[in-house]
Amino acid sequence: MCGISGSFDPRGGVRREDLLRMARAQAHRGPDGEGAWIAPDARLGFSHVRLSIVDLTADAAQPMSTADGAATLCFNGEIYNHAELRLELEAAGVRFVTDHSDTEVLLHALRHWGVDAALERLNGMFAFAYTERAAHRLWLVRDRLGIKPLYHAALPGGGLAFASEAKALFTHPALDARLDHRSFRHYLSFRAVPAPATLFEGVEQLGAGELLELNLADGSTRRRRWWDVLDNAATPPPTEAAAHDRLEELLASSVDLRSLADVPVGLFLSGGVDSAYLLECLAERRSRPSTFTLTYPGQAYYDEGSAALSRARSARAIHHEVALGPEDYADALARVAWHQDEPIAAPVCTSVYALSRAARSESVPVILAGEGADELFVGYSNWIRLRDAERWNRRVPDVPGRMLRRGARAACSPFLSWLAPEREVLRRAASGEPLFQGGALDFGESAKSRLIGPAVGAGDADTYAEVIAPLRADFLARRDADDLTAWMSYVDLRFRLPQLMLPRLDKMGMAFGVEGRVPFLDHRVAEVTFGLPAAWRGGVGKEPKALFKRVAERKLPRAFVRARKRGFQAPVKEWKLGSFGQRALPALTAFADRTGLFETRALASLLAEGGDRLWFSLFNFVLWHGLYLENPVSDLLPELDDLRPRTHAAA
Residue 643 has pLDDT above 60, yes or no: no
| Cα within 13 Å of Cα(648), Cβ side | 19
pLDDT at 634: 47
CA-CA-CA-CA torsion for 375, 381, 385, 386, nearest 10 degrees? -30
Where, residue-wise, is CATH 3.60.20.10 in the chain? 2-225
Tens of pLDDT along 163-199?
999 999 999 888 989 999 999 999 999 999 999 999 9
In 3D space, the residue among 647, 651, 649, 527 whose CA is nearest the CA of residue 167 turns out to be 647
Strands 515-517 and 366-368: parallel
Instruction: Give 460: exposed, middle or buried? Use CB within 10 Å, 0-12, 13-18, 19+.
Output: exposed
Write down the pLDDT at residue 639: 57
pTM for this one? 0.94
Q: Is the pLDDT of residue 610 over 70?
A: no
pLDDT mean over 31-36: 85
In this prediction, what percent of the chain has a pLDDT beyond 70?
92
Q: How confident is the model at residue 647 (pLDDT cuts 50, 70, 90)?
A: very low
Worst-scoring range by mean pLDDT, 190-204, 391-405, 616-630? 391-405
Residue 247 confidence (pLDDT) above 60: yes
Average pLDDT in the chain? 90
User: Using one digit for the tens of pLDDT, what is the confidence trace for 208-231?
Assistant: 999 999 999 999 999 999 999 999
pLDDT for 202 beyond 70: yes
- State the amino acid at position 179 in one-letter form: L
Mean pLDDT of 90-107: 93
pLDDT 10s digits, 449-504: 999 999 987 666 788 999 999 999 999 999 999 999 999 999 999 999 999 999 99
Query: Quick one: pLDDT band at residue 398, thresholds 50, 70, 90?
Result: low
Question: What digits encode the pLDDT tens for the residues 412-429?
Answer: 666 577 888 888 888 888
Structure confidence at residue 397 (pLDDT): 62
Mean pLDDT of 86-93: 96
CATH architecture of structural domain 2-225: 4-Layer Sandwich (3.60)
3-state class of 637 per DSSP? coil
CB 240 within 8 A of CB 540: no
28/407: higher pLDDT:
28
Residue 181 near residue 458, CB atoms below 8 Å: no
Find the mean pLDDT for residues 307-333. Answer: 94
| Backbone angles phi and psi of 13, in degrees to 5 | -105, 20
* Cis amide linkage into residue 196, ω under 30° from 0: yes
List phi, psi (to 5°) of 200.
-95, 120
Is residue 651 pLDDT above 60, yes or no? no
Helix (H, G, I), strand (E, B) or coil at 448: helix
Q: Above 90 in pLDDT, residue 121?
A: yes
| Amino acid occupying residue 35 | G
> What mean pLDDT do residues 403-413 have?
62
Instruction: Please determine, for residue 240, whether its predicted confidence score (pLDDT) is greater than 90.
Output: yes
- Number of helices (H), then strands (E), in the chain: 29, 17
Helix ranges, 260-325 (H): 273-283, 305-314
Euclidean distance between CA atoms 199 and 182, whole angstroms: 8
Tens digits of per-residue pLDDT, 263-304? Answer: 999 999 999 999 999 999 999 998 899 999 999 999 988 888
Check if the beta carbon of residue 82 is closer than 8 Å to that of residue 49: no
What pLDDT shows up at residue 581? 84
Over 60: is that where the pLDDT of 38 sits? yes
64 sits in which H/E element: strand 64-65
Q: How confident is the model at residue 650 (pLDDT cuts 50, 70, 90)?
A: very low
| pLDDT greater than 80 at residue 67 | yes
pLDDT at 637 over 80: no
Give the closest residue to 308 by CA, choosing from 322, 325, 298.
322
What does the pLDDT read at residue 427? 86
Q: What is the pLDDT of residue 399?
A: 54
